[in-house]
Amino acid sequence: MSTSFLIQGTYMKLNFDGFSVPAASLSLFDIVIILVLVPLMDHAIYPLIERSGIKLTSLRRIGVGFVLSAASMLVAGLIEIKRRTVWQHGDICTQTVFNESHSASCFSIFWQAPQYLLVGSGEVFATITGK
């Protein structure tokens, strides 16, 4: 999954006014959302859900995590459709990656942030069940 995101990112606009974003650096969104959500879920959200009368078992948390991960793949697919559409309409940027010149879509790599955030959120639910 992360390799597909990385490949998708290398064909998106990486160069901006005065700086360049490495495609692999967007995985930081995944890490940051995990670091933010784990304590938030453990100390605020899960207790709030329990107080509202909803029993959020480990299996339900895992199910929510899988749904969020599937949503991430859906978002990645929609972004890929948009990236290719931009490319096909001639909005092509030439950029240097690893000292090689490549043509890429002028669709910004920052559009990938939601898919990384959804993957991180899914990991929080699916792998960290609070046991």
What is the chain's pLDDT, residue by residue, as a tens digit (131 residues)?
Answer: 678 888 888 889 888 887 888 888 888 999 999 999 999 988 998 899 999 999 888 899 899 999 999 999 999 999 999 999 998 998 898 887 778 888 889 889 999 999 999 999 999 988 876 55
pLDDT for residue 15: 83
The token pair that represents 118 in the structure block? 């959804």
pLDDT for residue 19: 82
pLDDT for residue 2: 72
Rounded CA-CA distance 2/8 in Å is: 10
Residue 28 phi, psi (nearest 5): -60, -30
Rounded CA-CA distance 101/73 in Å is: 29
Task: Taking the CA atoms of 105, 107, 111 and 115 in sequence, report the sign of the dihedral they define.
Answer: negative
